[in-house]
Amino acid sequence: MTTAPSETTQHETFLRETLALARESLKQGSSPIGALLVDKNGQIVARGRNRTGEPQTAERVGDASVAHAEMDVFFQAGKLENPQELTLYSSLEPCLMCGGASALLEVGRIVWATADPWGGAGRLLAWSNHPAMQEIEIVPCPFPELETEGASLFAPEAKKAFPDKGWALWRKKYPAETEGI
């Protein structure tokens, strides 16, 4: 599917915001990942960021393995009305949990800035091969400069969090962004 110019501008704007949320996560001691849920009119329904390194509060799921940016967005949004008309934007390709949640919630589209060659759901299964995910439009890494920015931001976390095999995949996919880490 070809992206219309207005959609292209919208994708870029929202992906830049996910990267800003990712930087905020890093400042707060969590993994640098940000996410947005946006309706068909371009209105932000919810903003989220990774909170795995932060304490849990009455308002936020934190300090837990499920405190991913995408899950933060879904918890904030609550029951989704017309989920097929929503787009999930993420600074990093969603993991299997977040991709699965997107499919179960019937989100219409997922757009991410940076591929995750180790932890992304696409490494484990082709997004379009899973019956629950076949209805989701997938738009991976539409802007090379934002992909580079996201990869540079997440690379130190990838080295710390992933096993040697995962880090090797990151170094192969993003050699410049992982150089010297």
Residues annotated as part of the active site: 70
- CA distance linking residue 37 with residue 14, whole number of Å: 9
DSSP for the chain, written as a single string: -PPPHHHHHHHHHHHHHHHHHHHHHHHTTS-S-EEEEE-TTS-EEEEEE--TTS---SS---SSTT--HHHHHHHHH-SPSSGGG-EEEEEE---HHHHHHHHHHT-SEEEEEE--TTTSHHHHS-GGGSGGGTTSEEEE---HHHHHHHHHHHHHHHHHHS-HHHHHHHHHH-HHHHTT-
Q: What are phi and psi of 152, to 5 degrees?
A: -65, -40
Do 3 and 142 contact (CB within 8 A), yes or no?
yes
